[in-house]
Structure 1
Amino acid sequence: MADATTVPNAVPAPTNANGNLLDEKAQLLTGDPAAATSRPESFHSAAESSVEFHDPRETPASSARTVGHIIPDTEEQDFPIPTSGPIKTPIPKPTTQAPPQAKLSGEQESKYAQVLAKVSTWTTLPASTAKDAASAPLTDDERMWLSRECLLRYLRATKWNTANALKRLQSTLSWRREYGADTFTFDYISPENETGKQVIVGYDNQARPCLYLNPGKQNTEMSDRQIHHLCFMLDRTIDMMPPGQENACLIISFKGAASGKIPTVGQARAVLNILQGHNPERLGKALINELPWYVKTFFKLISPFIDPVTRDKMNFDPKAREHVPPAQLLKDAYGDLDFEYDHKTYWPALQKLTEGRRERMRERWVKGGKRIGEYEEYLKGGERMSLQQELEAVGGTGQVSGASSQVDGVTEGVQGMSVR
């Protein structure tokens, strides 16, 4: 595998007059470290604004269509909650606030600065996870994905090992290219969700969007697209996260799931690779209920492949109303929310809402200077300023108040890192 830390023509991390690495904010003030080489591409490829039902045998490439970005005239106002009768669209906002994020220690800030400095030099990355794979330029949307919170998620997932965090960040980006995750369109995935076997509706007590998985509603034969479906819906769940929230709540019900409809061990391992390997620190809680004996046996079989941290977040036969406000919890999950899945209503509504949000994220990212390490809360329209605004607020001189002295002299360590 090509080494992303030693890419040709990489822009060196900025240093001050004494040769010391500038702190995070001062680095960003010096300019865009990976400019000009990337081209604008959709973070998640755009699909048509209306749902069409095509041959299920179509691939992402054959079903993709060239369309303009969807920018709703209004945002959440497009999706009012009905006062009577069942709702048939996603719920755009939680009724609770996301909890405040823990403050980093000085050592953690220093390790973040090291990872940011190295990632900021990336101009190309391997196009696949294969050994010695050819490299391709880093795209704008990949650079936007490399937010401050993203880097921190990978640092936490690797127990703050900077070299391992860099390796996993590169691996995920190369995997997404190889897997085609950003080519999956609403049109391509649509046949998988006609029965509503995966639905994003409501938020839990900590403002985490709820993704319902209902294996009993399985409507297709086993195929790669079944796994693509979950990857796609996880990305849409991330789109639905409000400012300040990084985690999702999975609600899995095996009600009505015959033994032939539960995933195979091979499928389960593929799903775990997506969840644990390429969406680290994204699962906040998993509520799993209606387990027949063969599902319990299934979980015992896959238990060795489940990371202990992930396992600790799994709740079997929980009292869901204690985790999700009853008004945001589906009646099928013992809540009070009257929801009816109508694919021709829900699917285009989810598309319009999520594509509109991603478009506004791109607009904010461009307005903020197209910076690696941007704040996700700013990108999602929260109250936090962009990095550029934060720097301008302190005078725009690079003399950022409160800059940690622990990042001084870190250049030598950064230059010696390898993601092999």
Structure 2
Amino acid sequence: MTVADGEPAAAVPASNPQDNQTSDPKPSENPMDATESKPVAQPADSLDDLGLPNSAADGLVTKPFPKPLEGVQPEPPAQLTPEQNSKYEQVLKEVSSWTKVPVSLAKGAEERPLTDDDRMFLTRECLLRYLRATKWNVSDAVKRLRNTLAWRRDYIGDKLTPEYISIENETGKQVILGYDIHGRPCHYLIPSNQNTKTSPRQIEHLVFMLERVIDIMPPGQESLTLVIDFNQTKSGQNATISQAKQTLDFLQNHYPERLGRALVINIPWYINAFLKVIWPFIDPVTQKKLIFNDDLRKHVPPQQLMADVGGDVKFEYRHSDYWPALTKLAERRREAYRQRWIAGGKKIGESEFYLRGGEERATTETTAPTGEQQLEEKLEKLAVDNDKAAETTPTASAS
């Protein structure tokens, strides 16, 4: 979880498990052999070749789980009031009119045309998250959405690749594993596994993993559960005050409403002191989502919870197993998401429920009908009932 301010560190060759392969064998002299050796192409959403486990029942686990346990469902979304829906429509109209956005948050930054990635980011649920985070202030939500697009272009772009980030996770200091009782992906932060010195790449690592958590969210879910385990953490392994402030800044400004719950356990005294210092910088809504030293089995099904924190999953972090599996799982989910967005017409305001593979093409939040709409529905029903009655009433014979 540690992150830092300052200038980017000098480029360091990333340790990519996929690079640690033996040299390619000599090409076959028989063209037919070469053809037969080609791997069979997998559909964008197919995971059969990854050998992913589903629960503790699979024995020793070294790869991420691709889905929640059977029967685990996200909580139903809140119903929008007519006023809230009106504000959503205002935001949708405004962002749909954008043709250019800045390339960074720097003052006077150049503006460039909106890309497909920008448009795909602006889903119905995304606009609603920013509205909720700004207490339904339309102008504030629009401003923050525009700032986030600029930030994503500059900070994420094409830079945060699995190869570049790999070295940061070689010891498993961050792990995405399992889903909580509401289908939220669980993102573990384990400071005792810290393996690198303070650098900007540590914050980039956190952003990269947050993006992967979002990639693997099931239909109807838009938030995550953080599991922060300070067991065996030594002084100096946790984030500095500066790092914590920077992390809170981008989480609250660019990932609003993404935190569903934060489960914090095994807190040593110096972490308690640290939390007291940064507590005023944490949004009050976020503060309510933090739960300290609770029984994690109440929040995450034991069959998908690490044994180290009270669950039944015997998990061992093996970078050469975990990192390629997480990378491919996220890539395929992301590609399936994109293909659905394209098939749906590349719309701003598209439903994430649909994009994540939901069975119905529908938004995840509904609007409460207005009084006028309710009256219209009653009149329509009355007209239908009258028509049916007329059809069943016998007519008199002509004399």
Task: Bin the TM-score by the shorter chain.
Answer: 0.7 to 0.9
Give me the TM-score of the superposition, normalised by structure 2. 0.79
Q: Deviations over 1:384-405 (max 9, x none)?
A: 2168xxxxxxxxxxxxxx7998
Looking at structure 2, the residues matched to 238 and 74 of structure 1 have their Cα atoms a distance apart, in angstroms, of: 16
Q: Which residue of 1 aligns with 2:136?
A: 160
Aligned pair partner of 2:348 in 369, 372, 377:
372
Aligned pair partner of 1:104 in 71, 80, 84:
80
1:142 aligns with 2:109: no
Preserved CA contact (<8 Å) 2:177 2:185: yes
Preserved CA contact (<8 Å) 1:208 1:248: yes
Q: How far 1:75 sits from its partner (Å)?
A: 2.5
Q: How far 1:151 sits from its partner (Å)?
A: 0.1
Q: Which residue of 2 aligns with 1:416?
A: none
Q: How far 1:316 sits from its partner (Å)?
A: 1.0
Q: How far 1:178 sits from its partner (Å)?
A: 2.1
Q: Which residue of 2 aligns with 1:212?
A: 188
Q: Which moved more, 1:176-185 or 1:298-307?
A: 176-185
Q: Which residue of 2 aligns with 1:260?
A: 236
Looking at structure 1, the residues matched to 100 and 42 of structure 2 have their Cα atoms a distance apart, in angstroms, of: 30
One-letter identity of the residue aligned with 1:143: R
Q: How far 1:331 sits from its partner (Å)?
A: 0.5
Structure 1 residues 246, 113: closer, same or farther in 2, change over 3 A? same
One-letter identity of the residue aligned with 2:187: L
Q: Which residue of 2 aligns with 1:93?
A: 67
Looking at structure 1, the residues matched to 169 and 144 of structure 2 have their Cα atoms a distance apart, in angstroms, of: 31
Preserved CA contact (<8 Å) 2:82 2:370: no
Preserved CA contact (<8 Å) 1:243 1:377: yes
Q: Which residue of 2 aligns with 1:51?
A: 18
Aligned pair partner of 2:151 in 175, 178, 192:
175
SS of the equivalent of 2:225 reads strand
Structure 1 residues 224, 72: closer, same or farther in 2, change over 3 A? farther
Preserved CA contact (<8 Å) 2:100 2:112: yes
Preserved CA contact (<8 Å) 2:103 2:112: yes
One-letter identity of the residue aligned with 1:206: H
Q: How far 1:182 sits from its partner (Å)?
A: 4.7
Looking at structure 1, the residues matched to 124 and 45 of structure 2 have their Cα atoms a distance apart, in angstroms, of: 28
Aligned pair partner of 2:312 in 336, 349, 352:
336
One-letter identity of the residue aligned with 1:52: D
Looking at structure 1, the residues matched to 250 and 64 of structure 2 have their Cα atoms a distance apart, in angstroms, of: 24
One-letter identity of the residue aligned with 1:92: P
Q: Deviations over 1:163-198 (max 9, x none)?
A: 000000011111112223552000000000000000
Q: How far 1:309 sits from its partner (Å)?
A: 0.6
Structure 1 residues 135, 73: closer, same or farther in 2, change over 3 A? closer
Looking at structure 2, the residues matched to 333 and 257 of structure 1 have their Cα atoms a distance apart, in angstroms, of: 14
* Count of residue correspondences: 330
1:75 aligns with 2:42: no
Looking at structure 2, the residues matched to 259 and 49 of structure 1 have their Cα atoms a distance apart, in angstroms, of: 29
Looking at structure 2, the residues matched to 241 and 145 of structure 1 have their Cα atoms a distance apart, in angstroms, of: 15
Q: Which residue of 1 aligns with 2:223?
A: 247
Q: Which has the larger radius of gyration?
A: 2
Looking at structure 2, the residues matched to 239 and 342 of structure 1 have their Cα atoms a distance apart, in angstroms, of: 22
Gaps of 5+ in 1: 1-46, 54-69, 388-401, 407-420
Aligned pair partner of 2:101 in 125, 130, 146:
125
Looking at structure 2, the residues matched to 378 and 140 of structure 1 have their Cα atoms a distance apart, in angstroms, of: 18
Gaps of 5+ in 2: 1-13, 21-40, 364-368, 374-399
1:272 aligns with 2:261: no
Q: How far 1:199 sits from its partner (Å)?
A: 0.3
Looking at structure 1, the residues matched to 176 and 286 of structure 2 have their Cα atoms a distance apart, in angstroms, of: 20
Give me the TM-score of the superposition, normalised by structure 1. 0.75
Preserved CA contact (<8 Å) 1:148 1:374: yes
Q: Which residue of 1 aligns with 2:324?
A: 348
Looking at structure 1, the residues matched to 346 and 243 of structure 2 have their Cα atoms a distance apart, in angstroms, of: 37
SS of the equivalent of 1:187 reads helix
Structure 1 residues 72, 222: closer, same or farther in 2, change over 3 A? farther
Preserved CA contact (<8 Å) 1:248 1:283: yes
Aligned pair partner of 2:334 in 335, 355, 358:
358
One-letter identity of the residue aligned with 2:95: V
Looking at structure 2, the residues matched to 330 and 98 of structure 1 have their Cα atoms a distance apart, in angstroms, of: 21
Q: How far 1:319 sits from its partner (Å)?
A: 1.1
Q: Which residue of 2 aligns with 1:291?
A: 267
SS of the equivalent of 2:18 reads coil
Structure 1 residues 271, 122: closer, same or farther in 2, change over 3 A? same
Structure 1 residues 341, 119: closer, same or farther in 2, change over 3 A? same
Preserved CA contact (<8 Å) 1:71 1:359: no
SS of the equivalent of 1:261 reads coil
Q: Deviations over 1:212-238 (max 9, x none)?
A: 000010000000000000000001001
One-letter identity of the residue aligned with 1:91: F
Preserved CA contact (<8 Å) 1:75 1:353: no
Preserved CA contact (<8 Å) 1:147 1:373: yes
Q: How far 1:85 sits from its partner (Å)?
A: 2.9
One-letter identity of the residue aligned with 1:116: L
Q: Deviations over 1:268-327 (max 9, x none)?
A: 011111211110000000000111111011111111110111111001111111111111
